Structure 1
Amino acid sequence: MSTTQRSESANSSLKIWTNTHKSMYQLVLSVEKIIDNIWEKKSDEDITSMNAVPKLSSFYRIEKDASQVYTRKVMKLFKKILKESQLGEVDEIEKDVLYQVTIKEHPDIKNWFMESYMVNINKSEDMVSCSCKGYEFEGLLCSHAIKVMHHVNMFHLPNRYIMKRWCKDANACTKRSLLERSMDIGSTQEQESIRIATLKPRVMKVLDKASKSSEAFNKFQRLFGMVEQGMQDVVSEEETLTCEIGTSTRTPSQGIIDPPISQCKGKRKQPQRFKPPSEAKKPRKCGICGSKQGGHNARTCPLKKANDDDIESDDSQEDAEVELDSEYEDLSN
């Protein structure tokens, strides 16, 4: 079977972890590993975005506001937009209401045609809209709107134009659902992965705070020893309870295995992939007659056999003539 995903990255991941020779049980385990890997990468990226401080390329207040809410990848796009906002000229059509942004030339694009955009603005309600519809298309304010905002002394980033999907805490809802799922009873591989994904960001924040000073580090060492001892006691109690109850505590997912395979007679055929015509085995060419469809080679060629027969007949005739000559000499003597 093959996937029908819109993104080729899903197909690539499945091809790395699976193949046609794996059973259904192994396929399920491989898919679980892929999901765990995706969650781990997402958690690492969230932690990096939370703790890393992006380097600002200007002194604009709007860039500082964006660096505090946007993720790293979105911040790169916003820096590019902020750089493009330095281009063009602003013409006031109606004060504090309507402005026109004209871009006559672009230093990075050859054969640039002059463009003009109309920007509506409302300072009292922190509203701005551009005729290019950049925010409606990308979810980020366009360079023309930022240009007019700087012109009218609006240097902050309005909250109404900060989309949740681009923020550092975009996974807050997902994390709350993970916290609820992590409280479920059981110890399957999926639940363990959910609990790790829930605890890892909190632990990383505590580690970051504990590394700030020696006093915080020593306090963390003492508390961590108590937590470690408590976790050891809990694990020991669960192991003892499991041994007393027996196999009744095993979840259904842990008891599912592949059915027994009956051995059939003869050699089992291995599944083979479809080979295109370019990879098909080409017939060998005979070195004597040059035929490709005769089903023979130079050793079993009919022409070679006929030549060998002729040579043998010539040799036998020569031997007969030699014998006659020798008999004639004997008689003459």
Structure 2
Amino acid sequence: MFVKQYTKLIDDREKADDEAEKNRSQKISKPMFGYPIEKHASKLYTPAVFKLFKAELKKTASYVIVDNSDGLCYEVLHVDSENRESWSRVNFTITIDPHLGLYKCQCRLYEHFGIICCHIMLVMTQTGVMKIPECHIMKRWTVDARKGSKVKSGKSVAVLDDEANRTLRHKNLYMHVLDLVSAGEYDKTTSDLAMKYVELAKKKIEEYKMTISRTCQVGYNLPTSINGDKEVTMEGIGETGDTSSCGLQLYDRAQNCGIEVSSIKAPIVKMKIGRPTNRRFLTRFDANITRTKGVVHGKKKVNVPGGRTGVQQTRFCSCCKSPDHDIRTCPVKNDYNVPPKKKSKHSSTAHFKF
């Protein structure tokens, strides 16, 4: 059920992506103000992200540059700073790295969201920046974000990084196998060709997996028994009684090495901080043997076993361990030296002086 629901979720997301891709190809994002960086953003970003970009660009009309000392540090001030709330920030400092073309603002909107803020846009428009710097372009917001997972020819998958994992390979192979089935069912000749190369591919894959697989065996003196002519068995060890020279080993054929089984130890258990609990994990049967409160049947109060199955929990006497009675009616209680209970210091007969 989980796999079905997850597959349905992936299909819905792919349909939404395809619909957004169709709408983007049919509609053109028009610039609002005509700045060069706005024209570059209209071709670079998706329609939804370009809408957010225009909202930030519209906010630049509320700020002015008040300080430009060396061309690498700008101070931006809100035009209505006197009437703004006391808790709101009205001035921001933007620093520029000339070697990387990196803009840093005190609002940290780009570091948080991936879109440059209105303060940086104001500096870019005032200084005549024609395009958004490469270091400020997040690939996930661009129209080419989905490109790179497949080659344009559709014959192979270009793995760019570790994110192209087993799921991507499975999907790509699945789609190509469906195309092979559609092409191979044309007639008997195409079907035989498809089956021939499918079997050949399976054989090659099994041969490759055997070369990289690690086959391990457990036994006595495995390296000598595998490479030599004489094999050491359990009967031979029992007759000689000498197991020091041929201890029990875990031998790996691929790596050609053996490990003594006696050298393998259990992993170190890190104790948790605090007092360990004495409550063990209750199984389903243990959870069903709990007792409920007494149920009154007529004039007599009867204890009814609780839980789903209604299993009666067996009680044992703490003195003689008999299931027939408890410590109050135990016949051999007097034979044990049971120490008397100590009286409490704050008993009801204590006298207090005021």
TM-score normalised by L of structure 2: 0.42
**When you count helix as a share of all residues, which structure comes out higher?**
1
